[in-house]
Structure 1
């Protein structure tokens, strides 16, 4: 099952805390995700996971009678929820306020499941055969994620972990067989850039991938990738479900754009901002050394401008920022070109930072798309 969280809305009363162990979503909640026990008929077993601050084995979150004081700082209960939207009242004139179908603002709390180790698990670690694959483009922190997945699996007692080379293509290319991963093998890969397993775009026939998963007896599959990779992961899971394979597919979102709403920050974003800031500072140096100099920097951001915005703020040297979320015009009294002219006349320099997807709504010129379906910009 692809996904990491389930979100729930409370009733209109807006109670600040859900009732203990009786937290259930409305039937029509669009964010509700099934529990693993809803899809696979598997008995729950006591987890052998331990943390440095943990104590002895205890009754876990599968039981409604668990006392929070007995959790000994080891596990997280299934009923734990995190409040996603914290604004309790919004004035109609405020930015970012959501309204109902009648145009009235109403407090509708949005809850997300709290992440963390559970006291009851559904796969016997000794019988788990896991596989990890990295797909799409490179992203800072990929090796850290691979390393931590391996470390955590071994902490649970999983000893059979395969690394699929060069994305989904590694399932069909016999020249690149899977790598047996272990703590000893991956303990220093976080010191290196790129992907220890290699990456590729596109997806071979789903049947071939599922055939390999079945042949290798994989029952826990970790896909590290972006939109296209997760679409592929979803399709793979659906095929596995049709074959009645007892397997879970875990999606780990990979994007430097930081544009996943439920996450505080995606891995690789900080590094992308830091490197983007260097490019901006270099453009400022070039522009400030020229007569009426103009520096233009294009940054990553096909559909979101987080990298552009954060790098601009960090630099403090930018006059104009163009991002996909904000419309603009080039000409006219209040256009970009007129503002550039004013900045040059005033300061003798103008630095412009543009997210690659800015203004695409007004062009519609590019029909190219890559192997994963991303359109050209």
Structure 2
């Protein structure tokens, strides 16, 4: 297991009591998930040095940024973080280029300008360099904020609800761009969100917080299977996610073939070549269960697996069935009557139709 690039093991007394211990490897993405007031942003602020924990320590790449016992508490300007705030926090009187350039004050002036222009281009903002924030769309302002965070050449990237201030169409575009950007970064990313679908898209590890307490922590696919957690059941579109290798690309059919424990999974095509790994999100509503392999269906995927868990949900009619396909766990929501009719129990062999 690689040495963690980021270690957070702290307690806070204000603005609410909080205790959290988690780590993130180089290039990994850690999500802090929960409702408003659960402690997500307080944790982010502690990493950035904007609030002081009552105890514990924070280490980045082996260097101690905070240690209550040793009396170490680096001020914010000495912590190498890139911070993307919920509301952008751009200087309204400066151009996009100058907003980004200002964050690169550690570099000589000429290199500062070159890096700012390079980051804006990388985030698809060519032609917007000399516009002020008020002349940019919400999505463009968010990209400038991301470029500014990266201009510090940080050791840790902190994202506080980075998609909450834009509409759904812009959000989908920004999702794709962050996935593309994430592949090129070797630093840990900490994402704060109240939307579990964002966790599924981006994160490797997730901490679920409720009123300052950690109620779940672990790999995303494992935590996504915790259907008994009220905060997850309350999400509008429950799903699981996993990474899979691309076997083949069928552009005429608009499909990718992925390898999944010796079986094939067809998904809508994205820009990924054979051999690459892609993140797959499968909604519970898109999974149908069968005890025999059906024929003559328009459904592309029929994966052989077995029932790993059956979790009753809060309503009187529905249960979550977790199906293990090798090391991957899928989730289907079915009626209690279907459980009875199909005689499903833990260990039952089934086909997951997707």
Shared fold (TM-score, shorter chain, > 0.5): no
Q: What range is the shorter-chain TM-score in?
A: under 0.3
So what's the TM-score if we normalise by structure 1?
0.24
Higher relative contact order (CA 8 A, sep 6+): 2
Normalized per residue, the structure richer in strand is 2
The structure with the larger Rg is 1
